[in-house]
Chains A and B, each alone.
Chain A
């Protein structure tokens, strides 16, 4: 983990100095989990646009990454803000349309559709991406206790649907 952070920090520093090849290595390493997270968050067709916006912001702010947190945590925080901004922009009509709609035919997507944004993010990151509760709490800017109860609430809702489905 520490070694990975150091590698990412080195790549990020090279990016900050204008090395686009170094940044491409970071994109190659993290596009898969980031786009997967955004897709599961309900960004749907625009998940790639949000991911691109997040990567571009990460490129511009490369000098600010200090290696204390994992690069994926830092990058996902940027993407999370981009997603929230995008939701705010489209709040009137499209936000509801874009959110994962029930009965999509995908069982997990149907479950996620019934969760709030923060419940969905907490569940995806902690249960799917293997983040620690501390990292997820940091991303969502909530206290650790709140994050734990958010995950528990999300799981409880999923369990209800799981039982009903079974």
Chain B
């Protein structure tokens, strides 16, 4: 009866062949894509952080200005100017967000 140990050693050994170039190429493509996605995710997180900071700054500025007695007088005298100021702040926030898709495309491309 043939030796079981010898049989197992032969049968369970990794197959004797050349490296699979196709598998290696596929893996390399995946790794490059993964690296690009990681980079894009980081860029997005940075941008999101900046946007949140911008929103917080605008909100704080609006609150401080609105709380001041001078602003109270201005609102009482001319509410239109106050609304215009709020619209300008809103426009600034919209402009900040609308710049994001372009840079996302750049990071992935």
Chain A interface (Cβ within 8 Å of chain B)? Answer: 18, 20-21, 23-24, 27-29, 31-33, 35-37, 40, 48, 51-52, 55-56, 59-60, 107-108, 123-124, 127-129, 155, 158-159, 162-163, 166
Instruction: Decide if B31 touches A128 in the complex (CB within 8 Å).
Output: no
Q: Indicate whether B34 reaches chain A with its CB closer than 8 angstroms.
A: yes
B: contact size bracket: 20 to 34
Complex Cα gap A129–B12 (Å): 7
Once the chains bind, are A158 and B24 in contact (CB under 8 Å)?
Answer: no
A27-B8 in contact (CB<8A): no
In the bound complex, CA of A155 to CA of B3 (Å): 12
Q: Are A127 and B24 in contact (CB under 8 A)?
A: no
* Residues in B whose Cβ lies below 8 Å from that of A128: 8-9, 11-14
User: What DSSP secondary structure best describes chain A's contact surface?
Assistant: helix
Q: Which of B1-50 contact A (CB under 8 A)?
A: 1, 4-5, 7-9, 11-15, 17, 19-20, 23-24, 26-28, 30-32, 34-35
Give B1 Cβ to nearest chain A Cβ, in Å: 5
Q: Which residues of B contact A163 (CB under 8 A)?
A: 1
B8–A56 CB distance below 8 A: no
How distant is B94 from chain A, measured CB to nearest CB, in Å? 36
